[in-house]
Chain A
């Protein structure tokens, strides 16, 4: 209740109280006069309430108008972006560039359709209005950053929302990351080519079965034999024993483990490694996120704009079946292209060096020309 109403009520009570009011007789007023006074005050109270309601409505209307004045809604493909007024163009430019990667591949995404992206760069001091009850992805940058980093983060966030489309599928468990086009394939190549594990190096050399295995496709419950050779499995155990020893917990190591690590008993090593499950058997591939993303991306490219819908409908399929179903291609074909793209990104320490030398020589000669022609000697 507003202050005005409270004040009026207080005034009414005071006026109605015995002895209140100027010139009133000190005696107790009669019942009828009190009723008349109260009746007159009821009308005043009603008028005050109406005035208060109008004031409240006016204030709410002004607040709503103010909210609309500071908020813009930008649409880029299926993306809905809410941004403070004045940042609309920046938001459009950044989201358009990020969406360009997905535009040719994603026809429809329920996750994107139901998500609002809140974009503020830099974050405004006033909160941005967000429709109640909607899914929101907040991209408010309060820190100093560059457009390149903002674009990268926006791309990752779009990929993260997209990935939620796959929830409930086996593919989601295998993938479990934002869907983005990996850009540093040279680092993926470095990881493959320099791995200490022979299965990874075998993949780098072009053995697609090895690639399939290290990517985590078509594995049984115990992939250690596929991932590691007997020698590597022993080293795996030795590595574990060394870490336990450094941590002062060598007493907790089982006899079989010690026998494998110290005695080179391969049977013991196999028993140990096969007995280990879960995170203790480390997958051999580093940068697996980029590698899997590339494979998924290739499947989407091959499958066209409907491939995403097929992936969403792949519940019950294994990851390799889902990828084949979405792409319409055999997993061997996908792996072959995956390998070809990574190999094409092989960094070459001398790549571009002759061209760079030619450019440097050209510029140096140009500088020689300018130096020889200009003079401060002013000899006439």
Chain B
């Protein structure tokens, strides 16, 4: 039965998941484009520092892609159930909790797809450049972090989407929009008029709070570098 649930979920999500897998595979390769040394003993062009700084701009894309993958898998998992008023689920000879667990497990298996794509891409990217002395590639650590981030996003949104997908999208979308609107318009444009908006910047505050342990979003702030010392 698990295989059926997995198959149904795959059918539901594959059109959204395949582009994400392609992106996950390509991202590490893109991030090392134009970087790398010539393997010589010394270089006064500071190749190592150039690699570290060159990778810096790509770091947010890794966590954003992981979050996007989690969102797509989670929202698609309950889609058919809600559309068909849960008739299919009710017709199955299993209790609801077991059905929910199977669905969640199926989604968790699907999170492996983009993670494996990134792992392969990261290994290829690391192999494609000559790393100067002192630098090392960490494709496995990056892939594990990527997988954990997808799983986390997926688990949170899966639980929310068990209610309704529409509400989940509204809550999540409104939350993110509010954060940006308050941060960019509220803080930056209205700070001249209101002292209270000057002391605390909503976006800055939110980013600082991501670091809170055991907060769920701490994983987003880890070391996402494919190449480091």
List residues of A whose CB falls within 8 A of some B CB: 86-87, 89-90, 93, 121-122, 144-148, 189-191, 193-198, 201, 204, 231-232, 235-236, 239, 282, 286, 346-353, 355-357, 359-360, 362-364, 367-368, 370-377, 379
Pick the interface stretch among B8-16, B17-25, B27-35, B36-44.
Answer: B36-44
CB atoms of B228 and A347 under 8 A apart: yes
Query: A35–B4 Cα gap in the complex (Å)?
Result: 122
- A196-B155 contact, Cβ under 8 Å, with A147-B200, A376-B163, A377-B89: no
23 contacts between A and B (CB under 8 A): A87-B195, A89-B199, A146-B203, A148-B201, A196-B42, A196-B43, A196-B46, A198-B42, A236-B44, A349-B136, A349-B142, A352-B223, A353-B222, A359-B215, A359-B218, A362-B214, A363-B152, A363-B156, A371-B100, A371-B101, A374-B162, A377-B96, A379-B96
Q: Is B229 a contact partner of A190 (Cβ separation < 8 A)?
A: yes
Task: Among A286, A349, A359, A375, point to the contact of B213 (Cβ < 8 A).
Answer: A359
Does more than half of chain A's interface fall in helix, strand or loop, or is it mixed? helix
Report the bound CA distance from A190 to B162 in whole Å: 46
Contact of B151 among A87, A90, A360, A379 (CB under 8 A): A360
Q: Contact partner of A144 among B100, B189, B199, B225, CB < 8 A?
A: B189
Q: How far is the CA of A53 from the CA of B225 in the complex (A)?
A: 73
In the complex, whether B219 has a CB less than 8 A from a CB of chain A is yes
Chain B residues near A286: list those with CB within 8 A. 46, 49
Chain B residues 138 to 153 lying within 8 A of chain A, measured CB to CB, are 138, 141-142, 144-145, 148-149, 151-152
Known: A189-B229, A359-B213. A370 touches B159 (CB 8 A): yes
B127 interface residue (CB < 8 Å to A): no
Q: Does A231 contact B41, Cβ atoms closer than 8 Å?
A: yes
Kindly list 10 other residue pairs between chains A and B, CB separation below 8 angstroms, not including A121-B191, A148-B204, A350-B138: A122-B191, A122-B192, A144-B189, A145-B188, A232-B42, A349-B142, A352-B222, A372-B96, A372-B97, A375-B96
Q: A146-B204, A190-B52, A371-B162 are in contact. Are A364 and B155 (CB under 8 A)?
A: yes
Give chain B's interface residue range (CB within 8 Å of chain A): 35 or more
The verdict on A353 contacting B145 (CB below 8 Å), with A146-B201, A191-B49 known, is yes
Chain A residues with CB under 8 A of B130? none
Q: Is B86 an interface residue (CB 8 A)?
A: yes
B93 contacts A by Cβ under 8 Å: no
Q: Of residues 182 to 217 in B, which have CB atoms within 8 Å of A's CB atoms? A: 187-189, 191-192, 195, 198-201, 203-204, 213-216
Q: Are B229 and A346 in contact (CB under 8 A)?
A: yes
- Cα–Cα, bound, A367→B138 (Å): 30
